Chains A and B, each alone.
Chain A
Amino acid sequence: MSNIPGDLKYTSSHEWVREESENIITIGITDFAQEQLGDVVFVDLPEEGTEVTAGDSIAVVESVKAASDIYAPATGTVIEINETLVDSPELVNEDPYENGWFFKIQLAEGEAAEDLMDAESYQDQCSD
């Protein structure tokens, strides 16, 4: 059974979102997603400073078997990326919610990370 922490929010495309402060969020992929992907061998991250719109494909995670897009869950600016993943992409498998995070977004003014699922709803989606 996948680990789905109760203090995070989730997208239908299997990103998790942690609200760090009122306008900064951290994004990664869920335990369920990393299990489905298998061994992650490459992560293509956006550049810091990139302006993103909710729903944009802004990163790619590649496992041995497939490539998957990572979508921005909200509109804003990428302010930090997890450069450790460049040399240690396996952290996405080993520690998806902590050391395996992908990037942080500063939300645009008036933006909020809304329309996200809570853990229970995401659990339901994964069980379907």
Chain B
Amino acid sequence: MSLTLKRTPLYSSHIDSQAKMVDFGGWEMPIHYGSQVKEHEAVRAGAGMFDVSHMTVVDVEGKDSKAFLQKLLANDVDKLKIEGKALYSGMLNPQGGVIDDLICYLTDYGYRLVVNCATREKDLNWINQQAADYSVTISERPQLAMIAIQGPEAIEKCCSVVLEMADTIKSLAIFQGKFCQDWYIARTGYTGEDGLEIMLPDTQAAEFWSKLKNAGVHPCGLGARDTLRLEAGMNLYGNDMDESVSPLESGMGWTIAWEPVGRDFIGRSALEQQKQAGVSYKLTGLVLEERGIMRPHQTVHFSHTEVTGEITSGSFSPTLGISIAFARVPADAAGTCHVDIRGKRIQARIVKLPFVRAGKKVFE
């Protein structure tokens, strides 16, 4: 393993918990702590926690903050009326491709953005480049660690270890964050479960992690994070979307705020042209009807057209016991299809996302 890999403040905690560490976007991160499936199940049934300190926190301050983000993001930060409220958005290039997806919180000083780790440098370059015309200050917060606690018992267990913050935590609406001293606590997540994402000073992260573990919150690696988000129907940057594909063909149409029509966000005119011309593909869910596991880049075949689709994310669903996937398929595709898995065409079915909500199957 390269010595140049970055480590989070929780590195020693992971090693103490027998984590298997991998290179993830230049960071040495836990993929699992023994069993990815057990970690997945812990989040669906109780509470699990993830070290997401590798993600990038960026604060936007200054009098033009709102105008700047209304230009930068495809979704409209003017929807954020209450302090702490969060918004999911794509950050697009002028061609309408997705530079990254992010969460934006309204704060008392401006906005807080949380972006992906693998795209950090590209994102910061782009954000700073676009900020040049605005009176804003862009500040990265590398001194913050970030821990996601997820699952039906996540909030209760978290409150039990930070009693002094319990009132703040319990007051949070879904998709809302609040400062509590120098911690930022948000009721958000990436697993389809209720839970929290907490940004806190890196010096306090290991102690908090340890307390959560003692309270029965199961450490979970990036492996479980991937199967949980897949079941929950959540897109992953680099798999399901990237700069080469329109958000309209990546299941992100709902994140584009077309109103007000005068808001000229980056990528708008390209998207309007695409919309007018009609998009050729859509991102959908697939359920495999026979044994096998769907994986990214496998080809999807249909009986009604020679045009093929492609799996963008695929794995085994621990909750459902079958293989599930996201696929970019022709816009008119419906019903059954066949996925080329290692040279064999295996029958699958197109379903509406998500696959799992609150631990239960939701598709027909």
Contacts and interface: CB of A to CB of B under 8 A. Distances in A.
Contact of A64 (B36, B291, B292): B36
A102 to B, nearest CB: 16
A38 B39 CA distance: 12
Contacts of A41: 37, 293, 316
A112 to B, nearest CB: 30
Interface residues of A, number: 11
Contact of B316 (A42, A44, A86): A42
B342 A64 contact: no
Contacts, number: 38
A65 B292 contact: no
B315 interface: yes
B169 interface: no
Interface residues of B, number: 17
Contacts of B36: 38-39, 64-65
Contacts of B227: 64
B14 interface: no
A67 interface: yes
B77 interface: no
Interface in B319-357: 323, 342
A38 B292 contact: no
A37 to B, nearest CB: 10
Contact of A67 (B20, B31, B318, B342): B342
Contacts of B130: none
Interface of B: 20, 31-32, 35-37, 223, 227, 291-293, 295, 315-316, 318, 323, 342
Given A38-B20, A41-B293, A65-B36, 6 more contacts: A38-B31, A38-B32, A38-B36, A42-B291, A44-B291, A86-B291
12 contacts: A38-B20, A38-B35, A39-B36, A41-B37, A60-B342, A64-B315, A65-B31, A65-B36, A65-B223, A67-B295, A67-B342, A86-B291
